[in-house]
Amino acid sequence: MQANLKGAPAEGSALWQLCRVSDVYAPPSDLTYQGFVEAVQSLPDFEPAALLGLAAGADAYALPSLARDFFNDLSLRHNVQHNCWSVEEFAAIALKELPELVSCDRASSRFSASDGRQTLCLNAVMMQEVERYNSLLRCIKSSLECVVEVSAGRTPLSPATEEDAKQLHQAKVPDSWERCSYMSNKPVQIYLQDLGERIQHLRCWIEEGAPPRIWLPGLFAPRGLITAVIQAFTSTQKISMNSVELRSSVVSTLPDKEPEIGIYVQGLFLENCCWDKEHGTLAEPEIGAMPAVLCPLLWLCPREVRAEPGNYRCPVYVVAAGASAMRPLQPNFVCHLGLAAGPVGPIHWLVRGARAVTQTDT
């Protein structure tokens, strides 16, 4: 090794450094065994994001994630409680604030033979959402009622209730809920709050019809909505679904009615990138900014497949990671968005790992 390094470029030159992020990542000036040992020991404990080709702001996402995993492990080892309530108190409060089931009869009344093809497809999606959320609400209600009844001494403790109580004590969503739930990495308190907002969004859809701007993260299965929009377009145009894609366009003004073709969606988050409103392209996120920034309002319009060299095919996922492995039958991928890549080109954002998610972990 020493013989190979003797013909290396002059120390301090750009070719000498193994990485341009920091001078630390370079062969040591002392080419002895002890010199290499000291060089390895001087490496930082946490590698900067730029070392892996990611944006500098990616550190703001990785560090909180590592800290959260550390404290979760700590709570499991030392049985630390995350809130001031006992499990039975939390279960009683959550049961009291749990939303009521959504009326299926009221939802089915939205169907009309005179509706257009796209409206019929959206109403079908709404009915599927009602059935899924009602199934989840029944599961949560049954679980919380068992915890309350056991804590009051009115029923014996079952293994399932014991496991639910342990996970509630750790501020985690119980596994029995997750088997019936949409993908989520949130702690149980925020999860229940998010569930209430989703049910409210669904009730507004039932009472007032499809909203002009659909809150895509509020859907149990966002991919079902995307498929319904494409099916409505292909059935009208008499073409195959394989020849159709969704064209995404950023909308600068808030529309007051839904488009004739496609849908307006809001609520997505961009990771490892942000949107430059002035130039209308993707841009590097600010250092120290939030890991996920809000994506602008988008118009998703189906059309026949065509190449757009200046656009980055940004993947959209339900969650960033983690929960998708627990429910392999529930797809994490939603669709692709064609976003203007800007002067750096699409390959730059591909290396950056730029993506969109429907929800964050908090």
Per-residue pLDDT tens over the stretch 116-152:
777 788 888 899 999 999 999 999 999 999 999 988 8
Beta strands in 284-323 (DSSP E): 292-294, 298-304, 311-317
Closest C-alpha among 169, 168, 171, 198 to residue 183: 198
Closest C-alpha among 255, 248, 316, 317 to residue 280: 248
Largest CA distance in the chain: 83
Predicted pLDDT at 208: 84
pLDDT at 2 over 60: no
Q: How many C-beta atoms surround the C-beta of residue 90 within 10 A? A: 23
- Indicate the class that CATH gives domain 53-80+213-362: alpha beta
Collapsing DSSP to helix, strand or coil, 53 comes out as coil
Q: What is the mean pLDDT of residues 259-278?
A: 89
Predicted pLDDT at 15: 43
| C-alpha pair distances (Å), 205 with each of 47, 209, 326 | 47, 5, 30
Predicted pLDDT at 30: 78
Q: What is the mean pLDDT of residues 4-28?
A: 54
DSSP 276: E
Which tokens is 254 given? Answer: 């808030």
CB-based contacts of 301, cutoff 8 Å, min separation 6: 246, 247, 248, 249, 259, 261, 262
Collapsing DSSP to helix, strand or coil, 168 comes out as helix
Confidence of residue 20 (pLDDT cuts 50, 70, 90): low
pLDDT at 319 over 60: yes
Collapsing DSSP to helix, strand or coil, 76 comes out as helix
Q: What is the mean pLDDT of residues 23-39?
A: 78
- Residue 257: φ, ψ to 5°: -150, 160
Predicted pLDDT at 16: 42
Please report the sign of the dihedral spanned by the C-alpha atoms of residue 43, residue 45, residue 49, residue 53.
positive
Domain ranges of the chain: 2-45, 53-80+213-362, 83-210
Q: What is the mean pLDDT of residues 48-59?
A: 64
Which tokens is 137 given? Answer: 């609400």
Task: Count CA atoms closer than 13 A to 115's CA, side-chain side.
Answer: 16
Confidence of residue 257 (pLDDT cuts 50, 70, 90): confident
pLDDT at 157 over 80: yes
Confidence of residue 163 (pLDDT cuts 50, 70, 90): very high
Q: How many C-beta atoms surround the C-beta of residue 229 within 10 A? A: 25
Which tokens is 39 given? Answer: 């060089």
Question: Which stretch of 162-176, 314-328, 333-347 has the lowest confidence by average pLDDT?
Answer: 314-328
Predicted pLDDT at 308: 78
pLDDT at 14 over 50: no
Between 280 and 9, whose confidence is greater?
Answer: 280
Collapsing DSSP to helix, strand or coil, 302 comes out as strand
pLDDT at 13 over 60: no
pLDDT at 37 over 80: yes
DSSP 184: -
Q: How far apart are CA 229 and CA 194, in angstroms?
A: 25
- Indicate the class that CATH gives domain 83-210: mainly alpha
Collapsing DSSP to helix, strand or coil, 331 comes out as coil
pTM greater than 0.85: no
pLDDT at 7 over 60: no
Q: What is the pLDDT of residues 182-223, one digit of tens each?
A: 998 888 999 999 999 999 999 998 888 888 899 999 999 999
